[in-house]
Structure 1
Amino acid sequence: MSGEKLVGVVLVSHSAQVAASVAELAKGLAGGGTIAPVAAAGGAPDGSFGTSSDLITEAAAAVDRGAGVAVLADLGSAVLTVKALLAEGDELPAGARLVDAPFVEGAVAAVVTASAGADLDAVAAAAAEAYEYRKA
């Protein structure tokens, strides 16, 4: 990837497969051209279901390009783990933010928006707007 300062996106799920699949879907739907850095942080280190602060911090460091990191989480304890890391103050990159958004739709919106070069506020807003997507 070039030296562009793009917002990175971390997808935190209780399942490694879910996190990886949603990351692939979001990157695929972002289209051609530059794709914002995306990392999956799913499951426990041993491959079981759960969340891992180590996997989350590694993923956030891997996608940090200096423009902030949007973190989306699937369920309760994933959200709590991210909140605890943010409260620590030095566990996640400066500018990391937990984004309140639906996991799949929000991830797609975040990656598409970040890939267009938007700032962290715009990426978070696009992901949060996914709550308004209606399917019927």
Structure 2
Amino acid sequence: MAEKVGIIIISHSYQIGEGVKALIDQVMDDVPLALACGTEDNEIGTSIEKIQTAIDQATGANGAIIFYDLGSAKMNAEIAIELAGISHLQIAAGVPIVEGAYVAAVESNIGKSLEEIMTSLEKWKVESM
């Protein structure tokens, strides 16, 4: 079976990230999924190092999609992507973290491409994110 598109969750809260992962894990377990949630001490915040590790864990040949909760998480994701130098990573800007990550995981699980999943996520966008 072909490699699946990875899912990366960036949240300021360790517990939020674990909750999204638990939701996805209840329905599928073979989609690459990595968390970068909280600071190094799992306090509120984000960590570029955690994001880089998550990128390494979840990004295969078919790429990965990054979901985030707040604007500074997006900024740190952009920095981590630039440092990684990987072209097949997409940030799901404006897409709610729970709904978006779940939809992307389901579509990855059935073999959709990075581009197909990003197109599906367009309808979930919220302008204020």
After TM superposition, is the score higher than 0.5? yes
TM-score calculated relative to the size of structure 1: 0.82
| Uncovered stretches (5+) of structure 2, i.e. residues with no partner | none
For 1:105, the aligned partner's letter is E
Match of 1:130 in 2: 124
Match of 2:78 in 1: 83
Q: Report deviation, 1:28.
A: 2.0
Q: Structure 1 residue runs of 4+, over 3 Å off?
A: none
| Uncovered stretches (5+) of structure 1, i.e. residues with no partner | none
Query: How do residues 90-129 of structure 1 correspond to structure 2 at under 5 angstroms?
Result: 90-91=83-84, 93-100=86-93, 101-129=95-123
Query: How do residues 21-60 of structure 1 correspond to structure 2 at under 5 angstroms?
Result: 21-30=19-28, 35-60=30-55
Q: CA RMSD in A?
A: 1.9
- Write the deviation string for residues 5-24 of structure 1: whole angstroms up to 9, x where unpaired: 11000000001111111022
TM-score calculated relative to the size of structure 2: 0.86
Match of 1:13 in 2: 11
Q: Report deviation, 1:131.
A: 3.8
What count of residue pairs does the alignment treat as equivalent?
125
SS in 2 for 1:48: coil
CA 1:129–1:29: 2 relative to 1, 3 Å: farther
For 2:14, the aligned partner's letter is A
